[in-house]
Amino acid sequence: MSRFWSETTRNITPYVPGEQPRDKIRIKLNTNENPYPPSPGVLACLRELANEDLRLYPDPDSRELCETVADYYGLSAEQVFPGNGSDEVLAFLFQTFFGPDDLIAFPDVTYSFYPVYARLYGIPYREIPVREDFSIDFSGYPGEAKGILFANPNAPTGLYIPPAEIEALLRARPDTLIVVDEAYVDFGNQSVVPLVKKYDNLLVVQTLSKSRALAGMRIGLAMGHPELIEGLNRIKNSFNSYTMDRLAQAAAICAFRDDAYYREINGRIIRERERFKETLRGMGIPCTDSKSNFVFASLPGLKGPDALRLLREQGILVRNFAGNPRIADWLRITIGTKEDMDRVVEAVKKIMER
Ligand SMILES: *Cc1c(COP(=O)(O)O)cnc(C)c1O
């Protein structure tokens, strides 16, 4: 603590990202990274672009990237906003749409960065309990909320809400901004991006970190009505004109062009996820019906932090959210390769038999 810290700096509780270990962890399944590399096309394009042009500033509007994403989803470029990771996109949207007199609401079990941003930007928020089975119950959301945020599939439960239910919410609450964080949508789910053309109260956030194997590159997206996107650009251009560097813009464009590659690797992850869930259930281990690239499970008779430690002792790193009492005894286990998951199953067996 320095005497120069502002009141905000003194009072904020920062988000704590999953550990990036330097020790002997053999299997890293704690931050939902893709176990497969970016597409050969993305890597070739990055190698080609690591040249003297890096002395030049990038396109501040990421125009070609916006057009590529727009083509992919059947939108216009004015409906796309890229950012330096979807965390940055989320930070911008909190500042763009909400202030100290607005109320926002999100589930009590969801991406734990939302309350951090709400506190950082001084936005009043309410955390609405999910049901006992962790599903989101929209009927409990306050009528006066100006914004509702949730991840779909949700994190860290992996539970998925089909587009029809989200469309009903958009219709029922035309004056509430509905933010759907689709970080895990590509793992076998249907996106609500097409609804952007029909509803001006929908903002969809996506990331290239998980399904496009580019966590190290930092690329996120928001898609919504052109006036929502214009608002995001007003805030972004008041903060940093060049959030997207040349390499990030190019990598993102190539990633959207290499769709076949990503469908293939994510197909493998989906199959492994289903197999892993079934194996755990067969061992009597409760787990949610995750539609994401992780499984959410609770080892019977073990506190979450203890289960985490026992796996770590066997060289396997997973994630536990001990700070949230509703999920303190649950583990979020990223789906890795088949070999990774076989070793997790062996490690869990050992723990259950000890
Ligand atoms: C991983 C994740 C993010 C952040 O993604 P980045 O693009 O890497 O910043 C945002 N929301 C959810 C729900 C996530 O799981």
Q: Is the dihedral of CA 126, 131, 137, 143 positive or negative?
A: negative
93 lines ligand 1 (CB under 6 A): no
Predicted pLDDT of residue 324: 95
Ligand 1 centre and the CA of 87: distance in Å? 6
**Beta-bridge partners for 204:** 180, 223
pLDDT tens series, the chain, 354 aa: 899 899 999 999 998 888 777 666 789 999 999 999 999 999 999 999 999 999 999 999 999 999 999 999 999 999 999 999 999 999 999 999 999 999 999 999 999 999 999 999 999 999 999 999 999 999 999 999 999 999 999 999 999 999 999 999 999 999 999 999 999 999 999 999 999 999 999 999 999 999 999 999 999 999 999 999 999 999 999 999 999 999 999 999 999 999 999 999 999 999 999 999 999 999 999 999 999 999 999 999 999 999 999 999 999 999 999 999 999 999 999 999 999 999 999 999 999 998
Cβ atoms of 283 and 348 within 8 Å: the answer is yes
Query: What would the DSSP string read from start to end of 10-77?
Result: HH-----PPP---SS-SEE-SS---SSPPPHHHHHHHHHHSSGGGGSPP-TT-HHHHHHHHHHHT--G
Predicted pLDDT of residue 24: 66
Phi-psi region of 331 (alpha: psi -120 to 50; beta: other; left: phi over 0): beta
The CATH code belonging to domain 40-258 is: 3.40.640.10
Q: Where are the domains of the chain?
A: 25-37+260-352, 40-258
The whole-angstrom distance between residue 120's C-alpha and the CA centroid of its chain comes to: 19
The Cα–Cα gap between 350 and 187 comes to 30
CATH topology of domain 25-37+260-352: Aspartate Aminotransferase, domain 1 (3.90.1150)
Predicted pLDDT of residue 21: 74
**Which residue's C-alpha comes closest to atom 15 of ligand 1?**
183
Ligand 1 centre and the CA of 110: distance in Å? 11
215 lines ligand 1 (CB under 6 A): yes
Predicted pLDDT of residue 23: 66
